[in-house]
Structure 1
Amino acid sequence: MRKQSLLKGKPISFAVLDYGLFQVHANGRIIGICGALVSTDAGEHVLIDTGFPPKYARDAEAATAEDDLGSFGRVLSVTPENSVDAQLALLGLARGDITLMIQSHTHIDHVGEMDGFPGVPIVIAAAERALPRPLYWSGKQPMDWPEAQYIEITQDTQIAPGFDVLLCPGHAPGQLAFLFDLPQTGALLFTSDAISRAAEIDEKFAGSWDDDLAIHHGARIMALAEDRGAKVIFGHSPEQWPTLRKAPARFE
């Protein structure tokens, strides 16, 4: 694993951010849209993903039509309370407190406010950043890459002691997952969409950008979790989401 010191401190807390609810048409499953906030013992705050674009909180029906998202599913709840600002406020934070951003990948439900933190460096997989535009949704690519300092990940990288960024292409060309060592919780694996839900493993990640890569990296990071005895938080688990501790609660 490569080491690249991007932070001064080590992680002391991890909070799940609630960016709303979505229902997938094909199977009816209801999934949470989540991001995360990681704080270090040096007073740094790392934001992972920003949810849907703000237009979905203003008028989800119009935004869905504009993006042709209705062919996949429907927004059940994306409100102002699910915005980045509101979720950070639950933790006593504001945009100006963010030290570093991480883009797990660039699908529509993760990339909505990537341009909302000017001057904050963005960690992203090199394969994702190499795309002409963020992936967004099903050929719709209305977003430009925002002006930012991009820190491109080409392999598993430890960006601080106890903070590993794992390169897991499969769901997307530059999918990232994350492994932390926290003072009380111990090891915690946040899969993001590298494994959206536990059942995806048995389903062989059907429908991924690259099923074989998704299978390989899904198995790899679950082996890491087992070896470390890590708590696993999935990216979009219908079973886990309703009872998952979310901001203002933190895993410490």
Structure 2
Amino acid sequence: MEPENLNQPMAREHLLLGHPVALWILDYGLFRVNANRRVIGICGFLIRTSAGEQLLVDTGFPAKYVRDAVAATAEDGLEVFGTVLHCGPENLPAAQLKLAGTSLDQIDLMIQTHTHIDHVGGLDACPQAPIVMARAERRLPKPLYWGAAQPMDWPARDYVLIETDTEIAPGLQILLVPGHTPGQLAVLLRLPETGSVLLTSDAISRPEEMAGGFAGAWDASLAHANGERLMTLATQQDAVVIYGHCPTQWPVLKKSPLRFS
């Protein structure tokens, strides 16, 4: 059951006061997918606004994968999908944020693009920060996590639930793009120097999905339609596109402590 009054923070025109001025890509480790043995990066993001507000987008694998990835994989049954190649202490959100000069207790808002295991591990890491996510995802009894494994509960937190594309700050839009999961989100922001940046998350994990049919998606046809919508929007905005798990893009992306501004 959903808590009451989840959308109260959106009562004013924007949830945040400032506009985006900096973006950091956070490195949460490496994973090898059994299908085609693709090696993919696990990413999150830090966004800072002109008002000094800080937003954390996704949090990678649960910390148990740092302690013992083999045991955690067996516990979750993840071996049928792939192998965690690297997930060290330096790949946890706290360490990645430290590289960007901040910390978990300074996060003002969390954005949860969806609730699969490699995005939701630190869902409860910032108790002071409201969580922005899709209402369709929050309606699920538990976070999706992985397959039949659903060990996580929803943390007691203020939630801002997205039911349509929503501008939460000047120049920062949350896009509702279901398909990969019922409540998949993407993020479109405009930076002073870089211009528009589209964070597709797993709405488009890699460009090849557009022709490959979005195999394994919760709703492949819906995923394709929203993938097309995102790519059209990226063209219209002349946006830099950062895909969710692109094996060729990931190695060349500049990551924290480097930033886009």
TM-score w.r.t. the length of structure 2 is 0.95
State the partner residue of 1:81. 90
* Equivalent residue for 1:110, pick from 100, 108, 119: 119
Please say if 1:99 is aligned against 2:108: yes
Find 2:232's aligned residue among 220, 223, 235.
223
What is the alpha-carbon distance in structure 2 between the residues aligned to residue 48 and residue 26 of structure 1? 27
Aligned counterpart, 2:245: 236
Percent sequence identity over aligned pairs: 58
Q: Give yes or no for contact 1:4–1:157 (8 Å, CA) kept in 2.
A: no
**Structure 1: which 4+ aligned runs deviate by more than 2 Å?**
none
CA-CA distance at 1:38 after TM superposition: 0.3
Q: Distance between the aligned counterparts of 1:222 and 1:157, measured in 2?
A: 18
Preserved CA contact (<8 Å) 2:47 2:54: yes
- Paired residue for 2:60? 51
User: Offset at 1:204?
Assistant: 1.7
Structure 2 contact 105–128 (Cα < 8 Å) conserved: no
Unaligned runs of 5+ in 1: none
| Most deviating of 3-12 and 214-223 | 3-12
- Asked whether the equivalents of residues 27 and 255 of structure 2 are also in contact (C-alpha less than 8 Å), the reply is yes
Range moving further from structure 2, 120-129 or 201-210: 201-210
Tell me how far apart the structure 1 counterparts of residues 60 and 38 of structure 2 sit (CA, whole Å): 18
Q: What's the offset of the Cα at 1:27?
A: 1.0
Distance 1:40 1:90 in 2: 18
Specify the alignment match of 1:148 in structure 2: 157
The runs of 5 or more residues in structure 2 that have no matched partner are 1-9
Paired with 1:201 and 1:125, the residues of 2 have a C-alpha distance of 23
What is the CA-CA distance between 1:119 and the residue it aligns to?
2.2
1:151, 1:38 → 2: CA distance?
17
1:40-61 Cα deviation digits (max 9, x unpaired): 0000000000000000000000
Which amino acid counterpart does residue 142 of structure 1 have in structure 2?
P
**Partner residue of 1:71?**
80
1:163 and 2:185 matched: no
Select 1:213's aligned residue among 215, 222, 237. 222
Distance (whole Å) between structure 2 residues aligned to residue 4 and residue 76 of structure 1: 43
Displacement, 1:4? 4.7
Give the corresponding residue for 1:28: 37
The TM-score, its normalising length taken from structure 1, stands at: 0.98
The letter of the residue matching 1:13 is A
Q: Partner of 2:6 in structure 1?
A: none
Residue 139 of structure 1 pairs with residue 151 of structure 2: no
Distance 1:132 1:126 in 2: 12
C-alpha distance in 2 between matches for 1:134 and 1:26: 24
Quote the RMSD (CA, aligned, Å): 1.0
State the alpha-carbon separation in 1 of the partners of residues 160 and 13 from structure 2.
Answer: 10
Q: Does the 8 Å contact 2:58/2:111 carry over to 1?
A: yes
Contact 1:49 1:102 (C-alpha < 8 Å) held by counterparts: yes
State the one-letter code of the partner of 1:59.
D
Partner AA of 1:147 in structure 2: A
Judge conservation of contact 2:108–2:128 (CA < 8 Å) in 1: no
Instruction: Indicate if the aligned counterparts of 2:180 and 2:217 stay in contact, CA closer than 8 A.
Output: yes
Q: Secondary structure at 2:36's aligned position in 1?
A: coil
